[in-house]
Structure 1
């Protein structure tokens, strides 16, 4: 069995977090209570939303508590159980990441359905990121066949899934990514066009790629990308607001030049989170599982090795250090 260490948040970051905000600490291994299970984690996820949990503010998830183990998506194997619902060897998904082992009531662990996919897919296209892409595009933005879709951070975990779902559903897709290599991968995933935000301003590149404008914007970035989407939105455009990573570590937000077009174009902005759609997970597993099995949806991972790598993996999200899903393998 592996060790039993967990990352703790020791201080609240001002702007971009640093290694000094975190500490890796040994955890006591207590006997299991009735109804509990112990899981040895195999894969850990880092995601941009975790930055918000480092602030002491009210949001849709409570903030991380100082000097307590942090949390996040994880996939692991049950190594001990005192619950009839889980047995040793079961593969489970749960939200007790940032640690090597997790012990909790059995209800905290979700047993994986028997689908022929790699284990880490439950943190990617079949997990939080794939579900966020699926529900954000098809439910929040109400995207449909024939729509022209713009996706920011299209080489990231959520964005790359949005590109492929949109293609599978018969939409035209334009993705934005940073650098020639990431843009090439976005086109490889099926995007009709890819724009490189590092090569110049977003708006003129988006105008060239979408001369007729856009019907749907899937926003992972905020800032300049969101403003460009306002500028080129067609009438009754729908925006799914998933994240605004441009502003997570800044003290002030972007000044929008084209925001008044919300009125003239009757733009709908819909903020959402994955858990809004838990009642529809069976639809998601059926469709996404089919797309993965057929090869219609592919994944790429950026993998760091070992529990010690968690802060580096997390900070890499804010410097473009990942293509696809950022993971830590234990």
Structure 2
């Protein structure tokens, strides 16, 4: 199916607190024509990820924000519709960063060809893509779990957390997942094989987590922050490692929303006296290890040791509402927008 226009979703306003539908604008534009050395891509799948909330803000960060009136950014899987580039032919499937739109131009920079026969192409945005590599790199390089140690992971049913826990078990560690709601907890325990799972919505969450970690926590993979961190922090063992991947609990916070006593002195005292290693990271800094990740992850998936779940929403127009739901924890698995049919 060839679309008559390039549907695009633009950033209309910077959110004040949680994003609202009015912070986005949908428009139709002409489909661009590729110049010499360019290719025209038709987006098949768009990845929705928590980091996008930071791109909507003008606050200082590790990457430049999306400008007002610009297309929202995001990772995509796309098909080459037209090619005036010697390295790409019509019909090639590629991993790209085309953003929230149905068509995009590329000069080939940053593209990676995908083999649809090797794995479903959507996995290049999830378990075999940025989220999977984030999990692998943060756990393997920073967390470095040892056999018999306890690894706890927040957002354990999500695209990153689910992979973290499974890799930790493959490495021989005892894995404790933290997820929201009975359905997600049951999936993490029964389908992914975590040793224990705790529901962060439970009234006695902190007590349940302590019971699930009788020997403390040696590696904590941080995706959430907030009350989850509050429950984990007292359980960290001496020399515990904490890869800090995300802090989704505070992404929608306004200035002044976070109140209470200054806990920084206590945190620094624990870092000193318990020899804690707390390390924030962005997955791109470990780019030279991607080939190793692809080899290991492909083998684990083929053998059934690494499982995944995708939450696919049809239609680009539904991306804003789906993204808002992502920040509220309503997705179950890797959240993707199916922008167009990969079989047409």
Coarse TM-score class (shorter-chain normalised): over 0.9
Shift of residue 313, structure 1, vs aligned partner = 1.2
SS of alignment partner, residue 155 of structure 2 = coil
Once residues 128 and 275 of structure 1 are traced to their aligned partners in structure 2, the CA distance between those partners, rounded to angstroms, is 9
Shift of residue 117, structure 1, vs aligned partner = 1.0
Alignment correspondent of 2:302:
293
SS of alignment partner, residue 108 of structure 1 = coil
Deviates more, 1:269-278 or 1:108-117: 108-117
Shift of residue 76, structure 1, vs aligned partner = 1.1
Once residues 264 and 222 of structure 1 are traced to their aligned partners in structure 2, the CA distance between those partners, rounded to angstroms, is 22
Shift of residue 21, structure 1, vs aligned partner = 0.4
Shift of residue 205, structure 1, vs aligned partner = 1.4
Alignment of 1:1-330 (within 5 A): 1-2=2-3, 3-112=5-114, 116-188=118-190, 189-251=192-254, 252-253=257-258, 256=263, 259=267, 260-330=269-339
Shift of residue 254, structure 1, vs aligned partner = 6.9
Shift of residue 31, structure 1, vs aligned partner = 2.3
Once residues 115 and 238 of structure 1 are traced to their aligned partners in structure 2, the CA distance between those partners, rounded to angstroms, is 38
Which ranges of structure 2 fall in alignment gaps of 5 or more residues? Answer: 340-344
Kept after mapping to 2: 8 A contact 1:37/1:82: yes
Once residues 117 and 166 of structure 2 are traced to their aligned partners in structure 1, the CA distance between those partners, rounded to angstroms, is 20
Kept after mapping to 2: 8 A contact 1:33/1:82: yes
Once residues 6 and 147 of structure 1 are traced to their aligned partners in structure 2, the CA distance between those partners, rounded to angstroms, is 47
Kept after mapping to 2: 8 A contact 1:116/1:293: no
Judged with a 3 Å threshold, the aligned counterparts in structure 2 of structure 1 residues 113 and 60 are, in CA distance, closer, same or farther, namely farther
Kept after mapping to 2: 8 A contact 1:223/1:254: no
Deviates more, 1:313-322 or 1:119-128: 313-322
Deviates more, 1:68-77 or 1:25-34: 25-34
Judged with a 3 Å threshold, the aligned counterparts in structure 2 of structure 1 residues 254 and 169 are, in CA distance, closer, same or farther, namely farther
Shift of residue 6, structure 1, vs aligned partner = 0.9
Once residues 311 and 60 of structure 2 are traced to their aligned partners in structure 1, the CA distance between those partners, rounded to angstroms, is 31
SS of alignment partner, residue 145 of structure 2 = coil
Deviates more, 1:26-35 or 1:61-70: 26-35
Kept after mapping to 2: 8 A contact 1:223/1:253: no
Once residues 135 and 253 of structure 1 are traced to their aligned partners in structure 2, the CA distance between those partners, rounded to angstroms, is 30
CA deviation profile, 1:209-262 (whole Å, cap 9, x unmatched)? 001101000000011222222211111000000000000011244754962322
Shift of residue 272, structure 1, vs aligned partner = 0.5
Kept after mapping to 2: 8 A contact 1:15/1:249: yes
SS of alignment partner, residue 327 of structure 2 = coil
Kept after mapping to 2: 8 A contact 1:230/1:261: no
CA deviation profile, 1:54-96 (whole Å, cap 9, x unmatched)? 0112311110011011110110111111111111111101111
Kept after mapping to 1: 8 A contact 2:114/2:121: no
Kept after mapping to 2: 8 A contact 1:213/1:234: yes
CA RMSD after TM alignment: 1.5
Kept after mapping to 2: 8 A contact 1:140/1:271: no
Shift of residue 18, structure 1, vs aligned partner = 0.2
SS of alignment partner, residue 278 of structure 1 = helix
Once residues 96 and 283 of structure 2 are traced to their aligned partners in structure 1, the CA distance between those partners, rounded to angstroms, is 14
